[in-house]
Amino acid sequence: MNEKKQKILQRVLHVLCALVAVGVIVILISKVISFLDGDVIHSSEWGDDDGEIIYENSDYILPLMITEDMVKEDDGELTVLCLGNHPFSDERDSETGVCNLVADLTDATVINCAFPSSTISSHEPVYDAHAYAWDAFGLYWIASALCEDNMVIYDQLEAELSTLHSDVVAPLEQLKEVDMDKVDILAIMYDGFDYQNARKVNDDDNPESITTYLGAFNSAIDLFQSKYPHIRIIVMSPTYCFGLGSQGEYISSDIQSYGNEFLSTFSIKLSEAAYQKSVSFVDNLYGTIHEDIAPDYLIDHLHLNEEGRRFVAQRLADAINKYPTPVVQ
C-alpha cells in the first residue's frame, strides 16, 4: 500500500471514530434530558440479556443535620408522626396496620394522622370548605394547621359537613392534639391517589401552586423545615398501583395517564423534590412494590393487603432505624 492510500485510510478511520463518539454523546445526552424531564422509563430499557425486567430503587436515606441551637430537649422517647393516606390509614386500629407495625419495629411512639382519600395536591388554590371540603386533609393544609396554627379550617370543615365520616374522626382528633415539639421524625406517604385523580404534577408558570403535586409538597416541606428544624423528614413514594379502564379493568399505570402524567412521573418528580429539600426518600415504586409483583401485595388496584403493609412498614422502619437521632454540627 503506497503512502497516499495509507493517508486516505487513516483519515477514513479518524472520521468513523469521530462519528461513533458523536453518536454515543448524543445518546447519553438524550437519556439525561429524558430523565430530567421525568419521562417514563419503559420496561424494555430495564431488561437484562434474558429480557427479564430489573428494578433499581432510588432510595437515599439521610440523617438530619442540625446545629446546636436546633437540638430539642431529649425526652428519652422516639416519636414518629405519620402523614398520608391509605397506606397509613387502612387498618388503623389493627396490629397489621403500617403505623402499628412500625411502632413494633422501631420501639417508637407512632402518631397516625393519615386521612383516607386525601392527596398531596389540593383541589382548590385556597381552602374553601363549600367548594371542596376534603382539601383540609391534604398535605399542604395539614402542614399549615401544624406550622401556622391554622386549625380554623377544621372548624369550617365540620360546619360544612355537619357530620364527619368515622374514618376521619380519629386522625383529626390526633392532629388537633399532636405536640410537634416532641416529634422527632415526620414520615410522609401518599399512594397513587393524586395520579388516579388526574392531579397535575407541576405548573411551570406557577411552580408554587398547591393545586399541583410538587407545588403542594414543596410548600408543605418548607413550612415544616422552617417551623420545626429539629424534625427529620422521611418521604416515601407511592407503591405501584394500576390505572382503571372505562369498564373497571386494570391497566398499567405506565399506559393509563388520566390526561396528565403516568404514576412513574409522580414518583420520579417526588424523588427529585425530596433531594432538593435534603430529606430522606424511600422509593416504593421500584424498591418495594413494583408492577411485576403488585398483584401479590394489593387487594385491588390501589390498596395494600397485609403483606403489602408489612413490606412498607419494614422499609419505613429501616429508614427510621438507620438515623434515629440527628447529627449535631
- pLDDT tens-digit profile of 173-230? 999 999 999 999 999 999 999 999 999 999 999 999 999 999 999 999 999 999 999 9
Q: Which residue has the higher pLDDT, 57 or 135?
A: 135
Instruction: Report pTM.
Output: 0.84
Rounded to whole angstroms, the Cα distance separating 155 from 217 reads 24
User: Could you tell me which of 299, 110, 81 has the C-alpha nearest to residue 191?
Assistant: 299
User: Which residues have C-beta within 8 Å of that of residue 249, sequence separation ≥ 6?
Assistant: none
pLDDT (tens digit per residue) in 62-92: 999 999 888 888 889 999 999 999 999 999 9
Q: Please say if the pLDDT value at position 29 is more than 60.
A: no
pLDDT (tens digit per residue) in 282-307: 999 999 999 999 999 999 999 999 99
Helix (H) or strand (E) holding 112: strand 109-112
The cell numbers describing 184, all together, are 422527632
Q: Is 254 helix (H, G, I), strand (E, B) or coil?
A: coil
pLDDT (tens digit per residue) in 30-42: 444 443 443 333 3
> What topology is assigned to 49-328 in CATH?
Rossmann fold (3.40.50)
For the chain, how many residues are written? 329
Provide the 10 A C-beta neighbour count for residue 154. Answer: 20
